[in-house]
Amino acid sequence: MRGPAVALLLALLPGCQLQPVYSASSGAALAGLLGGVEVPPIPERTGFLVRDQLVARLDAGRAGTTPRYRLNVVLDDRIEGFGVRGDNSIVRERRTLRARYALIDLESGRPVLEAVAGADAGIDVVSSEYAVVAAEVTASERLAEAIADQIVGRLAIFARRGS
C-alpha cells in the first residue's frame, strides 16, 4: 500500500510550485526591497524593541541606500491576568502583541502592502514582584522578535511576488 502512495507523491512533486523565499533567483529582488525600507520610530518601549529588530533584519539605513519604502507599524501591547487563586490574586498573565503595518511606496505615497502580525506569551505570576517584571520584560523582547520575523517574512513574500 505504501508503494503506490509514495509513487504518486513522487509523480506530483515536480509540479509543485513551492520555492524557498530566499532562493538565489529571488535574492536580488529581496535584497533590493529589504534594504530599501525605512522604519520610523514606534512609540513606547515595545515599539523601540520591534523597530530595533526590524532595522536589524531589514538592513535598513545602509550607507548610500535611498529608501524606496516606509514601513509604518502600529502596536497593540496588552497584558491580561487569568487564573485566580483562592485569595483572588492572579496566577498567570498573557502578554499579547499585535502589529498593524503598512508598507508605503515613497514615490506614490500609497500603501503597497497592509497586514497584521501577532504573538503572545504566558507569564507566571510569582510572589516576587521583581521576577514578574523581569518575566514581562523578557516576554516583551521575545514578542518583538516574533513580530519582526513575521513582518520581514511577509515582506520577503511580497518581494518574491514582484513588488
> Given this model, what pLDDT does residue 23 score?
47
Let me know: does 112 contact 154? Beta carbons within 8 Å. no
Let me know: does 98 contact 120? Beta carbons within 8 Å. no
Domains of the chain: 22-160 (3.30.160.150)
> Given this model, what pLDDT does residue 10 score?
56
CA–CA dist 60, 37 (Å, integer): 6
The DSSP element (H or E) to which 93 belongs, if any, is strand 90-105
CA–CA dist 79, 122 (Å, integer): 10
Q: Walk along the chain (163 residues) in steps of 10 and give the mean pLDDT of each run.
A: 57 52 48 77 96 87 74 95 82 94 95 96 91 93 97 90 65
Q: How far is CA 41 from CA 7, 11, 55, 75, 142, in A?
A: 53, 50, 11, 12, 19
> Given this model, what pLDDT does residue 155 score?
92
